[in-house]
Structure 1
Amino acid sequence: MPNASFSTPERIAAELAKLNYLAEPGLAAAIFLAKKLKLPLFLEGDPGVGKTALARKVGLMLGVEPIRLQCYSGIDRSQALYEWNFARQLLHLRGTPDTKSIYREEFLIARPILQAVEKDPSVLLIDEIDRADDEFEAFLLEVLEGDTLSIPDYRTIVIKEPPFVILTSNGTREVHGALKRRCVYHWISHPTRENEAEIIRLNVPEVVNTPLAAQIALAMAQLRQLPLVRPPGVAESIAFARAAIALGRNTVAEAADDALGVLVKQHEDEEAVRSVLRSAR
């Protein structure tokens, strides 16, 4: 039975709001279409706009913990799909000459893609695909287009219900069009000031009756206009609000110095960020 939380884009947005995630209509529609058409969802945007967080929320809507495949330069199919436990296989062969017996479940190490395929429902998060190599993209394209998963010498898995696949990219390099065409694509922008303030209030209820959320949202908008090495994302906005509350500070300016470390992750950005925070109103 289809999950009622995904029945319409509006229902998806409402369910995500209950989980403290504000999804604009275009994003809710992209999630709906990916689920309805059983296509991967490709999310692209600057770091910190909520791409990975969305995968966690979609998992909550389906009642599962997302299975995460973190991409990096040099990743290959064995890290993504499966590999055999050679040490255990060799130990087994010492007791029997039957080489076929080493291709059994007890010797198989399931990696994220195989783990996701074998569960229903499941959410597979392929995080930061732009960090992987071209060869890995080609492998992913082959896997995502197929309705079976073959493990030589073991068995072929028929994928009756594919996992909800979410790919994310920070745009550090251009991902091949062939992979994007296989997906429902959506660019996630930084939220508007009003939406960011509401996101902060949802996640840090202690600021609801204070001007802190609006002040932080305004300061974040100003900081993103500067040539910072690493502009702050929504996660940093929420972290700064929590830090200010923990420190007993009522305004952004009051928290500027002591809470700077939850906002700035590059030494080169410190003075520029501190200046904006101290002048926040």
Structure 2
Amino acid sequence: MHTSPGELAQALKQEGYMIDLETATTLFLGLYLKKPCLIEGPAGVGKTHLAIALAKAERRKLIRLQCYEGLDITKALYDWNYAKQLLRLQLAKTDDWEKIKLNLFSEEFLLARPLLESIRSEEPVLLLIDELDKSDEEFESFLLELLAEQQVTIPELGTITSKANPIVILTSNNSRDFSDALRRRCIHIYLTYPTLEREMSILSSQVPDLTEQLVQEVCEFVAKVRKLPLQKLPSVSESIDFACALKALQKDKVNYSNLMGLLNVLLKYPKDIVKLEERLKKWDSELKVRMD
């Protein structure tokens, strides 16, 4: 484990993730206190990437549970191998029924899903419960035992306690709020879009052969776009893609009047592209007036 927030930030940087000292401090304290970290913020600000980089920095195997509407314990925690159970029944003798009944729900027939896999792991792991807000409140309540005590209960087998104390990271895009019970069990981190200076640092590290001037122009342009009322604002990864696209087309600056085809890299919805195209005409006119 890293001994200070600064050391943790440096380790994450080596894994390609730039983090500010305040966020690094909160994350460090979550690790030190051995509490789950709930990372919230808009889509595309790097919540999942932070968890992945942390797993690498801490030299832990990543176990990921992607949440969705209707997720239940048979997909998240465990299920039974019904085909194998049926085969066992077919091969059994009738007078062995009592013994068979007990064995059918033993670990031999258990299928471990991500939550159980992380609890039973002998090696240190990082459990990423991604986009928890997409699941329902029933599943959220089910998680409380794992978050508070690092254990899970399977009715047929009893309580299974963690062997290696997994790091638990939960992410949310804020599509719904969580209960006080869940928040009480977690250290809270809120990520938003980076400052201009930080995004320039990220872009320079990810696309190192761009000129400093182009990096600044891309970040300033993306910052302006994020102020528009769009359905989906461009993420950091999309600003990186945009910069790479400019490089591929051998463009050395962001020209408002010549971004044909490039906006599709930055934005994901046709109506957002139309809205930005209209705004670009205005920005281009304003720029020409200033230059005159």
Number of residue pairs the alignment of both structures matches: 276
The AA in structure 2 aligned to 1:253 is N
The AA in structure 1 aligned to 2:160 is I
Q: Separation in 2 of the partners of 1:16 and 1:261?
A: 30
The AA in structure 2 aligned to 1:266 is Y
Q: Separation in 2 of the partners of 1:259 and 1:107?
A: 52
Match of 2:136 among 124, 133, 138: 133
The AA in structure 2 aligned to 1:245 is K
Q: How far 1:170 sits from its partner (Å)?
A: 0.8
Asked if 1:32 is matched to 2:35, the reply is no
Q: How far 1:141 sits from its partner (Å)?
A: 1.1
Q: Separation in 1 of the partners of 2:214 and 2:278?
A: 17
Q: 1:197 aligns to what?
A: 200
Match of 2:55 among 35, 39, 59: 59
Q: 1:197 to 1:40 in 2, by over 3 A?
A: same
Q: 1:155 to 1:161 in 2, by over 3 A?
A: same
Match of 1:43 among 28, 36, 39: 39
- 1:203-242, Cα deviation, whole Å (9 max, x unpaired): 11121x3422111111111111110000111111111112
The AA in structure 1 aligned to 2:263 is L
Q: How far 1:7 sits from its partner (Å)?
A: 1.3
Contact 1:44-1:51 within 8 A present in 2 as well: yes
Match of 1:222 among 224, 247, 252: 224
Match of 1:15 among 11, 26, 37: 11
Q: Which moved more, 1:104-113 or 1:132-141?
A: 104-113
Q: Separation in 2 of the partners of 1:10 and 1:243?
A: 34
Q: Separation in 1 of the partners of 2:248 and 2:28?
A: 38
Q: 1:84 aligns to what?
A: 80
1:198-277 aligned at under 5 Å gives the runs 198-207=201-210, 209-253=211-255, 256-274=259-277
TM-score for both structures, normalised by structure 1: 0.91
Q: How far 1:39 sits from its partner (Å)?
A: 0.3
Q: How far 1:148 sits from its partner (Å)?
A: 3.3
Match of 1:109 among 100, 108, 111: 111
TM-score for both structures, normalised by structure 2: 0.88
Contact 2:65-2:114 within 8 A present in 1 as well: yes
Unaligned runs of 5+ in 1: none
Q: Separation in 2 of the partners of 1:265 and 1:14?
A: 33
Structure 1 ranges of 4+ moved more than 4 A: 275-281
Q: Percent identity?
A: 39
Unaligned runs of 5+ in 2: 288-292
Contact 1:200-1:238 within 8 A present in 2 as well: yes
Larger Rg: 2
Q: Separation in 1 of the partners of 2:212 and 2:252?
A: 8
Q: How far 1:102 sits from its partner (Å)?
A: 2.4
